[in-house]
Structure 1
Amino acid sequence: MSEPEIDAIVFDVLGTLVDEPAGIRAGIRRLDPSLDDAGTEGLLSLWQRHIDREQRRVLDGSRPYLPSDALDLEAARLVADAAGLDDPAAVEALALSGGRLSPWPDSVAALARLAQRYPLIGLSNASRTALLGLNAHAGLRWHQALSAEEARTYKPDPEVYRLAVTVSGRAPERLLMVAAHAWDLRGAQALGLRTAYVARPVGDPPADSDRFDLYAEGLADLAEQLGVG
C-alpha cells in the first residue's frame, strides 16, 4: 500500500510503546516474591480482566467514568486479596505499577526519528497522572500527550480520538493512528483517521477483515515505510 499523506502521527501508548503486562507482572512479583510463574500469571490475568471489564462498563454506560489510576487501585486490591495479603502500602505500590512501564527496545529511538518530520501525539487510556509518570519513566518523546480522561471515557469511544483531531487542527484523514491493537485502530478508523498496525507480542492482531493503511513489524519499520531516514 502506498505511503499515506499525513500531517501528524498519533500513537497508542499502553502495549504499543511500552510493555504493559511486564510492568504489572513485576509489580505483582514485588507484592509477593513467593509466587511461582503460574501464580504470577494468574494474578496478572485477574488484573487485566478487571481493567477490561470495568472500562467496558464505562463505555456501555453501566458505570460512571473513573480514571485509569482509580481502576488500577481496584485491580491491585483484587490481586492482593487473591494473594491473601492485607497491606495497604503494598496495594498502593502495586497500583502504581501502571506508571512504571518500560518501553519496547525500539520505542524511544523511533519516536525521536519520527519527530524530526512529524508532530507526535500520544493518545492513551491512561489517566493524566498515570500518563505523566509513564512518559517520564519510559523516556517517551511527544509534542503533545493526551489522556482519555479529557473525554471522560475510554478508547474506542470516538470522543477519545476526537481529542487528537481537535489538538492537531487537522482533518481526521491527515492523522495516522499507530497501535498494536486492532480494536484501537478500528476505533480511529471509524472517525476517519488513517491507521498503522505495529506488531507487538502483547497486542491484538488484525482480523482477516481489517484493512489498515500500513502494517509494520516494529517502529523502525514504520519509520522506513514513512520515508523517515
Structure 2
Amino acid sequence: MTEIRDIEVVVVDVLGTLVDEPDGIRAAMFEALPDIDDTTADELVALWQRHVEVEQERIGHGERAYANTEVIDAEAAQAVADRAGLDDPEALARLATAGQRLAPWDDSVAGLERLAWHFPVIGLSNAGTAALLRLNAFAGLRWHLALSSESAQAYKPSPEVYRLALDAAGCPPDRVLMVAAHAWDLRGAQATGMRTAYVERPVGDPPKPTDVFDGRFEGLDELAAALTAR
C-alpha cells in the first residue's frame, strides 16, 4: 500500500474509475436489441466507444466544435442502430442515454464515503452536466462537488478541465490529488501540477513503465485506507 501525504482535496474521475462504463453500455445493447448474441453486443460496444473516443479527440484537436456527451452518445447510439438495424425511436432514445445508467464498482460508494469524511472530494468527469447529474444519482455517487468538463467546453486531458477542479479546490495544485483508472487522465493532471493516484480497474488504461505517479492502488478501498490512515 502506497502512502500519500499532504493532500487537502481529492479529485476523482468517474467514467471507468467509479462506474463500469463498458458493462453498462453492453447492458443497454441487450435492452435495445434483445436478440443479439454476446459477440455482436461486444462489437456494438466497441463501435460506440470508438465513436466517442474519435469525436472527443477531434474536439481536442480543434477539428470539431465542442459537443457534450449527450450529443456524442446520441451519435454513437445512431451508429449502433444503423449497424444493427434498430428502427424503434423509443428504444433508440433510451439507448442514447445508456451512459447515464452505469453501475458503480463494488468499492466505489463506500470508498467515496470514507474519503469524504476526511477530505473535500470533487468528482471531475468528461460526462456532460445533465448526464453527470443523472449518472451520479443512478450509481449512488455522493460528492461535495461534481464538475463536468462541459463547463470548460473541453474534454480531459485538456488542461482547462483540470483547472476547473483546481479553481474549486482553492489550494496549491501539489495539495490536490487526482484519482483515476486511466493513466492518460493522470498524465493530464500531472501537467497542471496535481498529485496523482492510479486505481486499477478492469477497463482502465494501465500506466506505462515510464509513468511516475504518487501512488498505485488495487482499488478505491485501498486508496481510501491509505489516505485516511492516521
Assess same fold via TM > 0.5: yes
Matched length: 229
Which runs of 4 or more aligned residues in structure 1 lie more than 3 Å from their structure 2 counterparts after TM superposition?
none
Q: Which residue of 1 aligns with 2:63?
A: 62
Q: Which residue of 2 aligns with 1:165?
A: 166
Query: In structure 1, what is the Cα distance between the partners aligned to 2:229 and 2:72?
Result: 38
Spell out the pairing of 1:1-229 with structure 2 (5 A cutoff).
2-228=3-229
Q: What letter matches 1:12 in structure 2?
A: D
Query: In structure 2, what is the Cα distance between the partners aligned to 1:4 and 1:184?
Result: 21
Query: In structure 1, what is the Cα distance between the partners aligned to 2:3 and 2:102?
Result: 34
Q: Which ranges of structure 1 fall in alignment gaps of 5 or more residues?
A: none
Q: CA deviation at 1:225?
A: 1.5
Cα deviation, 1:122-142, whole Å, max 9, x if unaligned, reads: 000000000000000001010
Normalization by structure 2: what TM-score?
A: 0.98
State the secondary structure of the residue aligned to 2:207. Answer: coil
CA-atom RMSD, angstroms?
1.0
Query: In structure 1, what is the Cα distance between the partners aligned to 2:77 and 2:105?
Result: 24
Q: Bigger shift: 43-52 or 81-90?
A: 81-90
Conserved 8 A contact 2:118-2:228: no
Conserved 8 A contact 1:198-1:215: yes
Cα deviation, 1:112-167, whole Å, max 9, x if unaligned, reads: 11111000000000000000000000010100000000000000000000000001
State the secondary structure of the residue aligned to 2:97. Answer: helix
Cα deviation, 1:23-42, whole Å, max 9, x if unaligned, reads: 10011111111110000000
Query: In structure 1, what is the Cα distance between the partners aligned to 2:13 and 2:64?
Result: 24
Q: Which ranges of structure 2 fall in alignment gaps of 5 or more residues?
A: none
Conserved 8 A contact 2:26-2:41: yes
Identity of aligned residues (%): 59
Query: In structure 1, what is the Cα distance between the partners aligned to 2:18 and 2:12?
Result: 8
Q: Bigger shift: 35-44 or 83-92?
A: 83-92
Cα deviation, 1:37-61, whole Å, max 9, x if unaligned, reads: 0000000000000000000000000
State the secondary structure of the residue aligned to 1:176. Answer: strand
Conserved 8 A contact 2:115-2:228: no
Query: In structure 2, what is the Cα distance between the partners aligned to 1:79 and 1:31?
Result: 10
Q: CA deviation at 1:227?
A: 3.0
Normalization by structure 1: what TM-score?
A: 0.98
State the secondary structure of the residue aligned to 2:147. Answer: strand
Query: In structure 2, what is the Cα distance between the partners aligned to 1:126 and 1:227?
Result: 28
Q: What letter matches 1:147 in structure 2?
A: S
Q: CA deviation at 1:2?
A: 4.3
Q: What letter matches 2:6 in structure 1?
A: E
Conserved 8 A contact 1:117-1:228: no
Conserved 8 A contact 1:176-1:193: yes
Conserved 8 A contact 1:195-1:214: yes
